[in-house]
């Protein structure tokens, strides 16, 4: 039975599905889109690398066998660059050699097709639980503001007064927090927040300024010609 409390946390995470079976890929992504913040679906490792370079990905669900590169080599490259990404292998057959090769890569799960929705979601629940447990829940941002990632609440640290953010402002803050050790470029932010929407050239800057007015001018650092990052004071357990 699905734990709706855990599944409700999924809407903070982004999933990348990689499979060369187009029909299965469409089916899988259509289901996951009901629960997760964003779901990307591609048919090759090459396309997947591009998505990972341009977007903050939390979970990768990948086929073991793909054209030109197998799932093991694909995950090795991901692990070398983004070690925090959770990985679930989903494949049509069980092979000990591949499984043994996958274990050192920190595999989160190995599922055999056809997989039932119940088993898939139980696996995703466990994966989200692991991500949640290893994630710091509350962040203290420079300027006296705190952000509870789990409950999606922003408040003044001293008074505990809630600060109201729009959905776009909240999504932007989550993006900055989840990538606290990275400078996010304008194009990455645009792609994540607006994707295929047509927006003004100044949209990112305008949204940043609105967020700064609410959480403090010191909370977000502008790196000239490069991008933006969040300024954290400390992490609270």
| pLDDT greater at residue 77 or residue 3 | 77
* Cα distance between residue 233 and residue 109, in whole Å: 35
The secondary element (H helix, E strand) that includes residue 76 is: helix 71-81
pLDDT tens digits, one per residue of 103-162: 666 677 888 888 888 888 889 988 888 777 666 678 899 999 999 876 688 999 888 889
The winner for highest mean pLDDT among 37-46, 92-101, 141-150 is 37-46
Residue-range domains of the chain with CATH: 4-134 (3.40.50.2300), 138-236 (1.10.10.10)
What one-character DSSP code corresponds to residue 112?
E
pLDDT band at 100 (very low <50, low <70, confident <90, very high): low
Evaluate if residue 236 carries a pLDDT over 50.
no
Question: How do 109-112 and 86-91 pair as beta strands?
Answer: parallel
CA dihedral 175, 58, 150, 213 (to 10 degrees): 0
The secondary element (H helix, E strand) that includes residue 41 is: strand 38-42
Which pTM was predicted?
0.60
CA distance readout (Å), 11 to 8, 86, 165: 6, 16, 17
pLDDT band at 234 (very low <50, low <70, confident <90, very high): low
Maximum pairwise Cα distance, the chain: 57
pLDDT tens digits, one per residue of 197-226: 888 889 999 999 999 999 999 999 999 888
CA distance readout (Å), 3 to 6, 17, 25, 129: 5, 22, 25, 11
Q: Residue 221's beta-bridge partner residues?
A: 229
* Cα distance between residue 174 and residue 98, in whole Å: 36
**CB distance 141 to 231 below 8 Å:** yes
Give me the phi and psi of 68, to 5 degrees please.
75, -35
Q: Which of 218, 134, 208 is nearest to 172 (CA)?
A: 208
Token representation of residue 174: 């989550």
């Amino acid at each position: 039975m699905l734990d709706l409390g855990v599944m409700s946390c999924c809407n903070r995470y982004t999933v990348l599905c990689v499979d060369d079976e187009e029909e299965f890929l469409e089916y899988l992504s259509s289901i996951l889109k009901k629960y997760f913040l964003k779901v990307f679906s591609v048919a090759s490792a090459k396309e997947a690398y591009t998505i990972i370079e341009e977007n903050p990905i939390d979970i990768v669900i990948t086929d073991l066998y793909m054209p030109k590169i197998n799932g093991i080599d694909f995950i090795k490259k991901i692990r070398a660059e983004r070690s925090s990404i959770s990985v679930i292998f989903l494949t049509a057959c069980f092979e000990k050699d591949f499984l043994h090769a996958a274990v050192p890569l920190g595999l989160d799960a190995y599922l055999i097709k056809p997989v039932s929705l119940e088993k898939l979601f139980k696996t995703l629940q466990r994966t989200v639980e692991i991500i949640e447990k290893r994630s710091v829940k509350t962040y203290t941002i420079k300027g006296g503001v705190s952000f509870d990632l789990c409950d999606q609440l922003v408040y003044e640290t001293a008074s505990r007064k809630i600060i109201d953010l729009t959905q776009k402002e909240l999504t932007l803050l989550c993006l900055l927090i989840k990538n606290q050790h990275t400078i996010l470029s304008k194009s990455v932010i645009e792609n994540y927040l607006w994707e295929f929407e047509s927006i003004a050239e100044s949209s990112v800057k305008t949204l940043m300024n609105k967020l700064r007015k609410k959480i403090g001018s010191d909370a977000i650092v502008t790196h000239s010609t490069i991008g933006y990052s969040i300024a954290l004071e400390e992490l609270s357990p």
